[in-house]
Structure 1
Amino acid sequence: MTHRADGREPADYDSNGYDYRSYWRGRDYESHAEQHALGRLLPRFGHVEWFADLGGGFGRNLAHYADIAEHAVLVDYSANNLRAAEARHYAAVDRGRLHLVRADLRALPFIDDAFDAAMVVRVLHHLTELDRYLAEMSRTIRARWLLDIPIKHHLLARLRALRYGSAVPLSDPTPQITGTTAGAFRLYHLGAVRGSLDALGWDTTEVASVNNLRRWDRRLPPRLTEALQTPAAGIEALAQRVGRGWWGPSQFVLARRRHPARPRLRPVPEQTQPHTRGLAARMACPSCRGGLDWTDFAAFCRRCGVCYRHHDGFWDFAAGVPAPVPAEAIA
């Protein structure tokens, strides 16, 4: 999760020692459905020099872009998630293949067109003012990105409306808010989100319907669930293709920019470490978009004087948490 549902502040995934990895225990079907879709779709990107996993959590999907991307940047607001990602993917971080960045999706610390390609999975349902978020994320992507869009007009929702009646206008472009105030989620009309992307200069294609047999394995006895795993996986694989746009609650959309441009990379000071140089050339202060000077421990904005630290394996560019320049960073 990246932001609170009320839109005022980022969601707190770091309170009370919460570990997002625990969410996936007992959710084998959901995990398999997503992994199957990503394993089929991300290779379509071909070779990518710089890839962004926006709202990427603890890096559970890294395996799907590690083979296609020369360099990847995993962005998340949760420090706990990023610590878990550093522990899980230490070798990739140590080699400079994977960079971990703590940031707010409303104010990303990257230049325009920083990434050749990107993905956003299990993120949009947490976001308010979706157009604002889409504009900021798309600003940093040069050519293509894969979006997981949670929709309100999926098959199960329509069947429920037919059976029980519903006050929720499933065809209305207005997002539907579900859950409690503390844990509200937003569901969207697919056409409305695609329209927003179109206005930002992206052509979109529905490429997969995901989680089509929603929570089936959590409603049956374990022995029966185990026996039905193989046929359920087969149905999911078929439904991902034939159910695009209407069946599953998660619709994956591939967006291609109509007029891609090359990024105007920032000059990097000579003393910047080799593993950081490529990343540094693509970054800017999230507060003022100024250029940055780098050390092993911090990035210092030349324009507004804000310092962003490196600790626990990740660069902390979260909005609203600038730190004074540490003495060791300017010595």
Structure 2
Amino acid sequence: MQTTPVEVIDYDANGYDYREYWSGRDYELWAEQRVLRRLVPKLGRPTWFADFGGAFGRNAGHYLARAEHAVIMDFSATNLRNAGDRHAAEVATGKLHLVRADLYRIPFRDFAFDAGMVVRVLHHLSDVNRGLTEMSRTVGGRWLVDVPIKHHVLGLARGLRCGQLREVRSPAPVAMGVEEQFWNFQLGAVRDRLGDLGWRTSLGASVNNFRQWEKVAPRANKLARPFVHGMEVVAQTWGRGWWGPSQFLVARRHDPAQPAYDRPGGHTVDLPPELAGLARRMVCPVCMTRLNWTTATATCTRCDHTYHRHGAFWDFVPPQ
């Protein structure tokens, strides 16, 4: 059934390169990478892994060593081209696939992936329930969900100071920012939604618990870094569920599903093996129907939409 399109932020429209965002954000990068080293192993050793909104493959090192195959999905063609350069060897062998996709209309079958993760993405989703529904239907076992919350320590303090404490603590998401909106959520509301979708969740970590320190004392960075890093290590466990602005959940499906998408033959018999496994998992994002494949195109057998390969990535964003 067709659903109303939701506006998706297009970072390519103004030539933005997401890699620039990480310049001068050493603490945030360190804090997040530490958590991923600890939590990604909890997802097991999947045959197929999904990195939803995985950008230029910044986090791919955490799962490429554990998964047989992985897919980075992102709406930005610039991100995917950069991911292709960064992980050219893995793309060439078919260990890593790059797919341009709208996370509200994902071109993959139900339970196409054994495991996955979504990091620094939910704050872009104005309709988070729909986004979670669409992503979760493609994961059969476990996934890691990074939730930007509004009721962290500083958020509660701001809410109290501005007389908005009720709004901060309510289940409804709030939009932040002026030129561009970013969404923050109540952690309990997100966990309830995942529960409705068949997942049981546990608190994984509180992340970026002291992310403002680099702005407050930029000249003291080198001297203060060991102390702040030590506090972050403690708060990542102690602050789960309430301290930091990013709360990581480990989600496990109540009834894990493992469809047999890797059976040889069928409509992928003439494809090279590094592409055939991907093709067996994919469908048209418009009508969820099987695709006819070549090494350069994939055409829907029902609505005749054709999707193309552009260098290292496949573009599965439906034409407007």
Q: Indicate the SS of the match to 2:167.
A: coil
Partner of 1:280: 279
Partner of 1:293: 292
Q: Indicate the SS of the match to 1:281.
A: helix
Aligned ranges for residues 170-209 of structure 1 at < 5 Å? Answer: 170-180=168-178, 182-209=179-206
* Separation in structure 2 between the aligned mates of residue 138 and residue 319 of structure 1, nearest angstrom: 20
2:155 aligns with one of 151, 154, 157: 157
Deviates more, 1:299-308 or 1:19-28: 299-308
Q: Indicate the SS of the match to 2:69.
A: strand
Q: Indicate the SS of the match to 1:48.
A: coil
Q: Say yes or no: does 1:145 pair with 2:154.
A: no
**Number of equivalent positions:** 313
Deviations 1:139-192 (A, max 9, x none): 100011100000000011122334454365222101111111x41111100000
Partner of 2:87: 89
* Separation in structure 2 between the aligned mates of residue 71 and residue 306 of structure 1, nearest angstrom: 26
Unmatched tracts of structure 2, length 5 or more: none
Q: Give the Å deviation of 1:268.
A: 3.6
* Separation in structure 1 between the aligned mates of residue 94 and residue 139 of structure 2, nearest angstrom: 20
Q: Say yes or no: does 1:241 pair with 2:237.
A: yes
Partner of 2:249: 253
Q: Give the Å deviation of 1:295.
A: 1.1
* Separation in structure 2 between the aligned mates of residue 314 and residue 85 of structure 1, nearest angstrom: 9
2:221 aligns with one of 222, 225, 229: 225
Q: Give the Å deviation of 1:8.
A: 4.0
Partner of 2:9: 11
* Separation in structure 1 between the aligned mates of residue 271 and residue 300 of structure 2, nearest angstrom: 14
* Separation in structure 2 between the aligned mates of residue 291 and residue 179 of structure 1, nearest angstrom: 40
Deviations 1:85-108 (A, max 9, x none): 001111110111100000100111
Q: Give the Å deviation of 1:249.
A: 0.3
Q: Which runs of 4+ in 1 moved over 6 A?
A: none
Partner letter of residue 215 of structure 1?
Q
2:62 aligns with one of 61, 64, 71: 64
Partner of 1:270: 269
* Separation in structure 1 between the aligned mates of residue 227 and residue 50 of structure 2, nearest angstrom: 34
Q: Indicate the SS of the match to 1:29.
A: helix
Does structure 2 conserve the Cα–Cα contact (< 8 Å) formed by 1:30 and 1:215? no
Q: Give the Å deviation of 1:312.
A: 2.4
Partner letter of residue 9 of structure 1?
E
Deviations 1:112-156 (A, max 9, x none): 000000000000011012111111110100011100000000011
Q: CA RMSD in A?
A: 1.5
* Separation in structure 2 between the aligned mates of residue 192 and residue 221 of structure 1, nearest angstrom: 36
Does structure 2 conserve the Cα–Cα contact (< 8 Å) formed by 1:52 and 1:118? yes
Deviates more, 1:24-33 or 1:300-309: 300-309
TM norm structure 2: 0.94
> Relative to structure 1, is the Cα distance of residues 250 and 264 closer, same or farther in structure 2, using a 3 angstrom cutoff?
same
* Separation in structure 2 between the aligned mates of residue 137 and residue 44 of structure 1, nearest angstrom: 19
% of aligned pairs identical?
52
Aligned ranges for residues 47-58 of structure 1 at < 5 Å? Answer: 47-58=45-56
